[in-house]
Chains A and B, each alone.
Chain A
């Protein structure tokens, strides 16, 4: 992916939090490019810094305790991090908008859906009240809400989760954004609704050619929706690849672990692979490679030095691991080893 294609470039982003336990490096030296018309997925366990990355791009990290420790977020060449707040607000919700994980709580309970939609339309597009309402109805129709003329006067509590997420998407799309950040947009929804929402996002993307940053922990969602994938672990980018490449041949032990932990249709198994332990607290990341306390292939070097992200020669597949060239163990081998040692629950 060449520089000119990228509409949004995140370069060496560092977002830290000051806590009583010390400095929490929630996002540490993360870089990626988002390209128009494509979907970039960011995956990782809870607490890996996915959401903080999204909030950093939106400029919604509360400061304090948040701390912009470094890096750049270039939108059409301008650095969002150093931009004055007023300019940033004009971009927020207009050029870059966001949909949230919990549709039920992301709408203001005291206002009608239509009012909340028109507020955004009026703010960024300067339409008058009645035009904004017409536009709100049109948007609701576009995201597939039945009877939009009536639904526009609903309060959030009168809608179901899936409907509200559609309304949230309508709100995010109100100003025809160039970048849409979707922070686990389907996590709070049931599976059938999940599929509908993702389908809707795909349709809207092909109509409008916007870039989507899809944040998720669901590899199934990634496989179906993403063009490129960034895998995050403990605030760092550990692997990056086009989606097919990553699913065919994951190279980082963490990514391999994630795939090994997926149930497979081919083989019926009683036990699934488990990555030992949990993501450490952001204040207590180990020195060296941050995965070293959970990694089955850990070497001495991993305990001391942080591995840089290296691209496999001639590909867009990058991996941050000292040992990635020596890793050949398959999912089956990993599980067999774990069964042998009886170490199934990460004890």
Chain B
């Protein structure tokens, strides 16, 4: 390798350089970053509680995210600042959860940019807060799946023999379940909460990761540098997780990216069926659920949350594809 400037370039450097050349993937990654920001900044973008409040001479910073004792009993619903008060409101002064029966099923207007649902809740506000749910569920559920999958796969591939056999049988059993039905029944037994959904999705998605990692480890364990690492006296644990695992992570990252898209879709589907995040928490699937009774005229209840799901899932898939291509030396540009 000609290296005149002598600058050490790691694998991820090279991958990033390749990734940057793929415009669709880069745009998707940008969109995902924006979605993450929206999720994180949801209380500042939309809500009924002000960002800054000066009430009777007392100042409150960020009452929208910090629970002040004095403000516990305060009802911000329809609240207007008095002459001595001052408040800075979020961009969109609608709570995602406040129903208003006077404003039921309103079409998009200046007041409600994306209309309202069948309880008069602002759809844009709910989509913004739903981003939080979707991104969290997607990333945490897949994170759990990757965590379990990597450990199981690494142990199975590295040790082989009886360990491999047992883990493979478990993987096969989990893969045999119809995933969605399994999640539905898990949710039915557990309390409906966002955490249980993440756990349920994570517990059904790890076998894919495990099989991938196992395959990588079967290849890696007989690599010369694995023997060399053993010859230096490192323990199995360090060899597996410090030396071999980084060599197997690239394909895992690709699978994880696709997996996040899948997890988001699963969460939306669960919410659509009413098994998802418990109401009144906003979720994209839950908004879609509202639409099914009013689909004949309330296009905004179908289009906007549907678009949000579509864009997010597509962005994850495109980013994953870009990552996969960027890592493949045969597709170097």
Give the interface of A toward B (CB within 8 A). Answer: 55, 58, 60, 64, 89-94, 97-98, 100, 102, 105-112, 119-120, 123-124, 150, 153-155, 157-158, 168, 171
Residues on the B chain within 8 Å of A58, using CB: 230-231
A292: shortest Cβ distance to chain B, in Å?
Answer: 34
Alpha-carbon distance between A171 and B231 when the two chains are bound, in angstroms: 11
Known contacts A64-B161, A107-B225, A110-B246: A153-B8 contact under CB 8 Å: yes
Q: Output the residue of B1, B10, B224 with the most chain A CB within 10 A.
A: B224
- Nearest B residue to A103 by beta-carbon distance? B224
Tell me whether B59 is interfacial, beta carbon within 8 Å. Answer: no
Please tell me if the beta carbons of B232 and A120 are within 8 angstroms of each other in the complex.
yes
A111 to B232, CA, bound (A): 15
A93 touches B8 (CB 8 A): no
B227 at the interface (CB under 8 A from A): yes
Chain B residues with CB under 8 A of A107: 225, 228
A105 and B224 in contact, given A154-B8, A155-B8 (Cβ under 8 angstroms): yes
A233 CB, nearest partner CB in chain B, Å: 25
Distance, CA A90 to CA B243, complexed state (A):
18
Known: A105-B225, A108-B243, A110-B247. A60 touches B230 (CB 8 A): yes
User: In whole angstroms, what is the CA distance A25 to B9 when docked?
Assistant: 46
Given contacts A106-B224, A155-B10, A158-B3, whether A98 and B231 have CB atoms under 8 Å apart is yes
Bits for B1-43, please: 1 = Cβ < 8 Å to A, else 0.
1010010111100000000000000000000000000000000
Q: A102-B224, A109-B11 are in contact. List 12 more A-B contacts (CB 8 A).
A: A58-B231, A92-B230, A92-B232, A93-B233, A98-B231, A106-B227, A108-B225, A108-B243, A119-B232, A119-B242, A123-B233, A171-B232
What are 14 A-B contacts with C-beta separation under 8 Å? A60-B227, A89-B233, A93-B232, A94-B233, A102-B224, A106-B224, A108-B225, A108-B246, A119-B242, A120-B233, A155-B8, A155-B10, A158-B3, A168-B228
B166 touches A (CB below 8 Å): no
Rounded to whole angstroms, the CA-CA distance of A171 and B225 in the bound complex is: 12
A112 to B13, CA, bound (A): 14
- Tell whether, in the assembled complex, residue A60 and residue B235 are in contact, meaning their CB atoms are under 8 Å apart: no
Q: A64-B161, A90-B233 are in contact. Are A158 and B1 (CB under 8 A)?
A: yes
User: What number of residue pairs across chains A and B have CB atoms under 8 A from each other?
Assistant: 75
| CB proximity of A270 to chain B, nearest CB, Å | 39
- What's the Cα separation between A171 and B228 when bound, in Å? 10
User: A93 contacts B246, CB within 8 Å?
Assistant: no
Q: Is the CB of B224 within 8 A of A100?
A: yes
| Distance, CA A150 to CA B5, complexed state (A) | 11
* Cβ contacts under 8 Å, B10 to chain A: 110, 155
Q: Which residues of A contact B227 (CB under 8 A)?
A: 55, 60, 100, 106
B11, B228, B232, B246: the one contacting A123 at CB < 8 Å is B232
Residues of A within 8 A of B307 (CB): none
Judged by a CB distance under 8 angstroms, whether B229 is at the interface is yes
- Of all chain A residues, the one with the shortest Cβ separation from B8 is A153
Q: B88 contacts the other chain (Cβ, under 8 Å)?
A: no
Chain A residue at minimum C-beta to C-beta distance from B234? A123
Q: Give the residue of A64, A92, A106 whose beta carbon is less than 8 angstroms from that of B233.
A: A92
The answer, yes or no, to whether B190 is at the interface (CB within 8 Å) is: no
Interface string of B44-80 (1 = CB under 8 A from A): 0000000000000000000000000000000000000
Kindly state the separation between the CA atoms of A150 and B8 in the bound complex, as whole angstroms: 9
B232 (CB) vs chain A CBs: closest residue: A93
Contact B228–A100 (Cβ < 8 Å): yes
Which residues in B have their C-beta under 8 angstroms from that of A97? 231-232
